Chains A and B, each alone.
Chain A
């Protein structure tokens, strides 16, 4: 298309050896690229949890009605949360185990709050593939280690909700929580 080549200097090399047209081309396309990236960020961010979801990101639990040996099932961030008061026998059983023999080595102390060792607060989400383990409800199968038992693929957790047998790789997760009074906790 020789007929459209101009000789008025627009395409000519400047003093610094850079063609004016090349400079404009690269500058314009780069700027459009930056703009494109800036636009993509909110398009991706909109799929993150929205403000109303984040507003429900912490849960208060009243412990006063939970007797030793009992557990309740509540929800934290739309997932089941197990809150259990351990019996002295269960605490003793958990302490008896040498952590170094465990798949995910942790002591009961590390999984509870100082001085309130009887309160075991864990997610009710099996660390294998996310089913809800049995054992929080009255009369449910608690597995051969007396903690929780996941019916999906047979993972057994002990009285400190540590993985002992089956395919799950980790202990039941202990969420971040704190005591707001002697009988109430704030999870999250």
Chain B
């Protein structure tokens, strides 16, 4: 992989030469995120969010392992051990707030990362595998976040566990046995809590593993870029280090400032007060909603209110919710336009904005009470979501007339700064 003009790792110190011979880990790092990885020279700040997602995962793993040191995965003590962490453990409040808000920030940067990919066509050949693995990471994140939310064993934890496992109960015939199997009982209890804790501990490391595959798959064709034009020669790239380590470092600084503001000044802003009440199987909170990052999918789930022929509404909602994510696995083959970047696709670009607004509307409805007009709005927005991918995108791909593409990345960069000198003639890649 990589381009032939990539800088070569040449250790000078005898110790580093010795290490390189026995176990070339420094070489691997150099070629992956060091000077040995040539990256298009024109990446904008939307290309920061992959690294930021990695940073968020690291924050989650570190704070999570610390939280596990003070937590008791037992329905009798779980709630009080979390309160113990908050009140008694040195800096325990910091660990828990960082973990809870870290989850939100993980989803924020991942959603930006996904919408970046949607706008700039990062899912298209030859990077389909990068996109597919990214979706796997997204699904794993959702499972991890859900199970983590159950662990404090508050009212929202309990009822969240009941509702989400209830989704599986919608499957005909085998649904209820599956729900009972998932919970290890007829309702969330100690068995559920223990297995959720075990899996919540495991899955982040699975995510880390899939991230390695995600980056591996990315580095075979190399990073995409805002023009969507492939790299043609050495003048189109700069080494990852120091150019993008510096740019990502700056982005990480902004990310940490935003994170700190929420963490230190409004740590419960994204949480639900009801989760500070211990789980009570006999009383459901009046307004039960999942965490904000599930709202768009929750809105799709609730959009189905009537049976369709023989299919019950409950099952339709569940199928639609899972389909809304599984659909994205087919995206590289639904969008058949040879032009990647939304910059050169005027029609596609408009519909990208509409999709963004549509998902925002779904998110708003998912967080709102299950009443009119939100149900009706959810129905329209959910229908549009599916129409975007299944009808609009294939049609645009067929009928849209894209704008002329720049001859190369370098040409686009020079044009941006009003320079079109003949010094840097594009050299085709070998």
Contact = CB atoms under 8 A, between A and B. Distances in A.
Chain B binds chain A: yes
B287 interface: no
Interface residues of A, number: 17
A52 interface: yes
B91 A42 contact: yes
Contacts of A37: none
B90 A1 contact: no
Contacts of B140: none
A46 B91 contact: yes
Given A4-B41, A4-B238, A28-B249, A50 B94 contact: no
Interface string A42-61: 11011110111100000000
B31 interface: no
Contact of A3 (B69, B91, B243, B424): B424
Contacts of B237: 1
| Interface footprint category on B | 20 to 34
A50 B249 contact: no
A48 B235 contact: no
B69 A46 contact: yes
Contacts of B235: 3
A50 B41 contact: no
- 5 shortest A-B CB distances, which residue pairs? A42-B91, A51-B88, A50-B88, A52-B88, A45-B90
A50 B87 CA distance: 9
Contacts of A53: 88
12 contacts: A1-B237, A3-B424, A28-B249, A42-B90, A43-B62, A46-B66, A46-B69, A46-B70, A46-B92, A48-B90, A50-B88, A51-B88
Interface of A: 1, 3-4, 25, 28, 32, 35, 42-43, 45-48, 50-53
Nearest to B38: A1
B84 A52 contact: yes
Interface in B407-430: 410, 424
Contacts of B243: 4
A128 to B, nearest CB: 30
Interface string B61-94: 0100010011000000000000010011111101
A52 B85 CA distance: 10
Among A4, A32, A46, A50: residue with most chain B CB under 10 A: A46
Given A47-B69, A50-B89, A52-B88, 6 more contacts: A3-B234, A25-B246, A45-B91, A46-B66, A46-B89, A46-B91
A1 B91 contact: no
B410 A46 contact: no
A45 B90 CA distance: 6
B300 interface: no
Interface of B: 41, 62, 66, 69-70, 84, 87-92, 94-95, 234-235, 237-239, 243, 246, 249, 253, 256, 410, 424
Nearest to A45: B90
A5 to B, nearest CB: 10
Nearest to B89: A50
A43 B66 contact: yes
Given A4-B41, A32-B249, A46 B238 contact: no
Nearest to A31: B253
Contacts of B84: 50, 52
Contact of B90 (A4, A28, A50): A50
Among A1, A32, A45, A51: residue with most chain B CB under 10 A: A1
Contacts of A42: 90-91, 94-95
Nearest to A1: B238
A83 B246 CA distance: 64
Nearest to A54: B88
Contact of B239 (A1, A43, A45, A52): A1
A47 B87 CA distance: 14
B415 to A, nearest CB: 15
Contacts of B92: 46, 50
Contacts of B256: 35
Nearest to B424: A3
Nearest to B41: A4
A3 B42 CA distance: 13
B409 to A, nearest CB: 11
Given A1-B238, A3-B410, A3-B424, A46 B88 contact: no
A3 B249 CA distance: 23
A133 to B, nearest CB: 32
A161 B237 CA distance: 77
Contacts of B69: 46-47
Contacts of A45: 90-91
Contacts of B234: 1, 3
A51 B93 CA distance: 13
Nearest to B63: A43
A42 B94 CA distance: 8
A25 B241 CA distance: 13
Contacts of A47: 69, 90
A79 to B, nearest CB: 20
Contacts of A35: 256
Among A3, A32, A43, A51: residue with most chain B CB under 10 A: A3
Given A3-B410, A28-B249, A46-B92, A51 B87 contact: yes
A18 to B, nearest CB: 18
A164 B144 CA distance: 59
Nearest to B239: A1
Contacts of B94: 42
B56 to A, nearest CB: 15
